[in-house]
Structure 1
Amino acid sequence: MSYLTLAPFIRSQPWLHNLLKPVANWYTSLAGYRQLGLRADDLIPEENDVVQQAIGRLPAQVNYDRVYRMRRAVQLSLQHKLLPKDQWTKPEEDTPYLLPLIKQIEAEIKERNELDTIEIIKSH
Structure 2
Amino acid sequence: MSGPLGPSLAPYVRSSRTLSKWLKPVATWYANLSGYRKVGLVYDDLLVEERPDVQRALSRLTPREAYDRAYRFKRASHASVLHKDLPQSEWTKPEEDVRYLKPHVLEVVKEDQERHVWDTINVARK
Q: TM-score, normalised by structure 2?
A: 0.93
Identical columns (%):
46
Equivalent in 6, 15, 28 of residue 9 of structure 2: 6
- C-alpha distance in structure 1 between counterparts of 2:78 and 2:45, whole Å: 15
- C-alpha distance in structure 2 between counterparts of 1:71 and 1:45, whole Å: 17
Equivalent in 68, 73, 78 of residue 76 of structure 2: 73
Q: Is the 8 A contact 2:5 2:47 kept in 1?
A: no
- C-alpha distance in structure 2 between counterparts of 1:48 and 1:40, whole Å: 17
* Superposition deviation, residue 122 in structure 1: 2.5
Root-mean-square deviation over aligned CA pairs:
1.0
- C-alpha distance in structure 2 between counterparts of 1:48 and 1:81, whole Å: 30
User: Does 1:38 pair with 2:41?
Assistant: yes
- C-alpha distance in structure 2 between counterparts of 1:2 and 1:85, whole Å: 28
Equivalent in 29, 54, 58 of residue 26 of structure 1: 29
Which letter does structure 1 place at the counterpart of 2:26? V
Following superposition, which runs of at least 4 residues in structure 1 exceed 2 angstroms of deviation?
none
- Find the counterpart in structure 2 of residue 105 from structure 1: 108
Equivalent in 93, 111, 121 of residue 90 of structure 1: 93
- C-alpha distance in structure 1 between counterparts of 2:30 and 2:79, whole Å: 21
Equivalent in 115, 119, 122 of residue 122 of structure 2: 119
* Residues 1:18 and 1:106: Cα distance change in structure 2 (over 3 Å): same
Q: TM-score, normalised by structure 1?
A: 0.95
> What are structure 2's unaligned runs of at least 5 residues?
none
Which letter does structure 2 place at the counterpart of 1:7? A
Equivalent pairs, count: 123
Q: Is the 8 A contact 2:36 2:43 kept in 1?
A: yes
* Superposition deviation, residue 4 in structure 1: 2.3
